[in-house]
C-alpha cells in the first residue's frame, strides 16, 4: 500500500476517523470504489447542458455539450450509407469519407438532424483529425446546420469538400493522444480485478432466451455488473431484444463483453426506467473484431479497449458516448441507410481504477503518465470498403493513426503475417496492479481498504486521531 500508483478518473479525498489504542500500529477503513471515465470523459460539460435527456428528436437546438462524444484512437472511416455523427468528435488517425453511389453524399458531424439535439457550442471544434482528412469527389462533409456551426480541424493533408472550410493545425490531436492509453487501461480495469485471468465479480446474470438477451440484476447494488460471453443475436444471427431487470433506479450498469470477436445485432429500443441510458456502459476489453448492427436505437455508451481493434458500426442509431482505442468504420448493412451516432452523456460511476497511496502529507508523482502518439510503426487496421464486416482488410487502410499525406500505403490487418502490435492488458499502468488486492464489486462504496496511522502517535492511551488519506489522480 506504500507504493504511489496512478489513478484513472476524478480525484477525491477519503477521511477516516479512528480511536487510538496504545498497542495499535495501523488502521484499516473502507473507502469509495466508484469512479468516472478517464480524462473527465462521460458527462455533459459546459453551462448549457440538459438536466433531463429525451429520446432522439428533431427539435430546435437549445443546449450544448463541450465534452467528447466520439473518440477514435485509430482511423475513422465513413462507408456505404452512414449519415451523421452528433457531438464533439476526435480521431487520432485519418478521417476518410467514401460513401456508396445512390445514397446521400453528405455526412454530418457535430450537429445532427435527428438526435439529442445537443451539439458542441457554436464556433468550437466539431471534428478533430490527427491524420489526413479525405472526402470522396462529389461528397461533402458538413459541420453546420442553419445557425449551428463548428470547426473541422486536421493535422495532416486535406482532400475534398468540407463545409465550413477546414482548418489545418499540425498539433490538432496533440491534447488527446494520452487518452488512448488511458481508455485501454480503464477498459481492462472495469473488466478485470487484478490480472488478466481474474474477472471482475458480477452482481447479476445474463440469459439468452432466443428472442431476447435478458440481464437480471440483484435489485440492490449501486453498481450492477454483468459478464457477457456470447454474441447478442438470434440463433440465425438476426436481431434480438435487450432487456434489463432487477436494476435499481439510480444504479450504474456495466456490461463487460468478453471475447476476441463479438457481434451485437439488436432491435433494442427503450429502457425500463428513465435515466438508465445515461448510466449504461458496454465495455469490450479484449475484442479486436466487433460488429454492431441492428434495426433499433442502441442505448448506452460503448468503450472498446484494444488499440488494434476494428469496429464496424451498422446500427440504426447509438445513443451514448462512443470511445474506442482502435479504429471505427461507420457503415450500413445491405440497402439500409441513415445510420447515426447520437450525443448522450454517461453519468454513471464505474469501478475505481487506482491504488491507495500511503498516507503522506505531500504525495508526489514519481513516474510520468504514458503519452504516446500514434506512429507509422503502430498501424491501425481498417476494414475493407466493399464489405462492411468487422474483419479488417489492407485494401482501405493507411499506416497507423498518423498516416502519410498520401493515405495510400496499406497497413497490415490482424490476419496478415505481420499483425499490428496489440497492447497487453497491463502495459499502460505506470505501476503494476496491487498483487494482493481484489476489488469487491457490490456497487456499494465499501471494498478498498486504506492502511494508515503512525505508531508513535497512537501510543497515547485513550486518545483519538484523524488520519486523512489523500488520493490523487494524475491525468495523462
Q: What is the pLDDT of residues 428-439, one digit of tens each?
A: 333 333 333 333
* CA dist., res. 274 & res. 78, Å (int): 32
pLDDT band, very low/low/confident/very high, at 34 (cuts 50, 70, 90) = low
Query: What are 294's three cell numbers?
Result: 441492428
* CA dist., res. 116 & res. 111, Å (int): 9
DSSP 8-state class, residue 175: G
- Calculate the average pLDDT of the chain: 76
Omega prior to 222 cis, within 30 of 0: no
The residue among 306, 313, 303 whose CA lies nearest residue 381 is: 306
Cβ partners under 8 Å of residue 221, min gap 6? 203, 248, 251, 442, 443, 444
H or E stretch covering 30: strand 27-31
* CA dist., res. 421 & res. 144, Å (int): 38
pLDDT of 476 higher than 80? no
Q: What is the pLDDT of residues 301-360, one digit of tens each?
A: 999 999 999 999 999 999 999 999 999 999 999 888 999 999 999 999 999 886 433 333
Query: What are 219's three cell numbers?
Result: 435489485
- Cα 441 to Cα 183, 222, 286, 350: the distances in Å are 20, 10, 20, 10
CB 55 within 8 A of CB 361: no
Q: Where are the beta strands (DSSP E) in 124-279?
A: 125-129, 133-135, 140-142, 144-145, 148-149, 151-154, 158-159, 161-163, 167-168, 205-208, 212-216, 223-228, 241-245, 252-257, 261-265
* pTM of the complete model: 0.70
Amino acid at each position: 500500500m506504500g507504493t504511489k500508483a496512478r489513478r484513472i478518473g476524478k480525484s477525491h479525498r477519503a477521511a477516516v476517523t479512528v480511536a487510538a489504542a496504545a498497542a495499535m500500529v495501523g488502521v484499516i477503513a473502507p473507502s469509495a470504489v466508484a469512479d468516472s471515465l478517464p480524462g473527465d470523459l462521460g458527462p455533459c460539460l459546459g453551462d448549457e447542458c440538459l438536466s433531463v435527456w429525451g429520446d432522439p428528436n428533431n427539435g430546435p437546438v437549445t443546449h450544448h455539450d463541450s465534452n467528447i462524444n466520439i473518440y477514435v484512437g485509430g482511423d475513422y472511416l465513413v462507408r456505404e450509407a452512414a449519415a451523421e455523427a452528433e457531438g464533439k468528435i476526435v480521431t487520432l488517425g485519418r478521417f476518410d469519407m467514401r460513401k456508396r453511389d445512390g445514397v446521400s453524399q453528405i455526412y454530418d458531424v457535430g450537429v445532427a438532424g435527428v438526435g439529442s439535439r445537443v451539439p458542441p457550442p457554436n464556433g468550437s471544434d466539431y471534428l478533430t483529425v490527427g491524420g489526413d482528412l479525405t472526402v470522396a469527389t462529389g461528397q461533402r462533409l458538413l459541420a453546420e446546420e442553419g445557425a449551428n456551426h463548428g470547426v473541422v480541424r486536421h493535422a495532416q493533408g486535406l482532400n475534398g469538400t468540407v463545409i465550413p472550410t477546414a482548418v489545418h493545425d499540425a498539433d490538432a490531436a496533440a491534447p488527446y493522444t494520452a487518452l488512448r492509453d488511458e481508455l485501454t487501461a480503464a477498459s481492462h480495469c472495469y473488466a478485470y480485478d487484478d490480472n488478466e485471468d481474474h474477472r471482475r465479480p458480477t452482481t447479476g446474470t445474463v440469459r439468452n432466451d432466443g428472442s431476447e438477451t435478458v440481464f437480471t440484476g440483484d435489485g440492490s447494488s449501486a453498481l450492477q455488473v454483468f459478464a457477457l460471453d456470447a454474441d447478442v443475436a438470434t440463433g440465425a444471427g438476426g436481431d434480438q431484444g435487450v432487456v434489463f431487470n432487477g436494476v435499481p433506479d439510480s444504479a450504474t450498469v456495466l456490461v463487460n463483453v468478453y471475447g476476441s470477436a463479438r457481434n451485437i445485432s439488436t432491435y433494442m429500443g427503450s429502457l425500463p426506467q428513465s435515466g438508465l441510458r445515461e448510466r449504461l456502459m458496454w465495455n469490450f476489453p479484449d475484442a479486436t473484431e466487433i460488429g454492431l448492427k441492428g434495426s433499433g436505437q442502441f442505448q448506452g455508451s460503448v468503450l472498446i479497449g484494444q488499440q488494434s481493434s476494428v469496429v464496424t458500426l451498422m446500427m440504426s442509431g447509438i445513443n451514448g458516448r462512443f470511445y474506442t482505442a482502435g479504429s471505427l468504420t461507420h457503415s450500413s448493412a445491405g440497402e439500409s441507410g441513415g445510420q447515426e451516432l447520437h450525443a448522450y452523456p454517461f453519468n454513471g460511476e464505474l469501478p475505481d481504477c487506482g491504488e491507495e497511496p500511503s498516507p503522506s502529507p505531500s504525495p508526489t508523482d514519481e513516474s510520468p503518465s504514458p503519452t504516446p502518439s500514434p506512429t507509422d510503426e503502430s498501424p491501425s487496421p481498417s476494414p475493407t470498403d466493399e464489405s462492411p464486416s468487422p474483419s479488417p482488410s489492407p485494401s482501405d487502410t493507411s499506416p497507423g493513426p498518423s498516416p502519410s499525406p498520401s493515405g495510400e500505403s496499406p497497413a497490415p490487418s490482424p490476419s496478415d503475417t505481420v499483425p499490428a502490435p496489440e497492447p497487453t492488458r497491463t502495459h499502460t499502468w505506470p505501476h503494476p496492479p496491487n498483487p494482493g488486492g481484489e476489488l469487491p464489486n457490490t456497487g456499494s462504496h465499501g471494498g478498498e481498504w486504506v492502511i494508515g496511522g503512525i505508531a508513535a502517535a497512537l501510543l497515547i492511551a485513550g486518545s483519538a486521531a484523524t488520519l486523512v488519506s489523500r488520493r490523487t489522480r494524475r491525468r495523462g
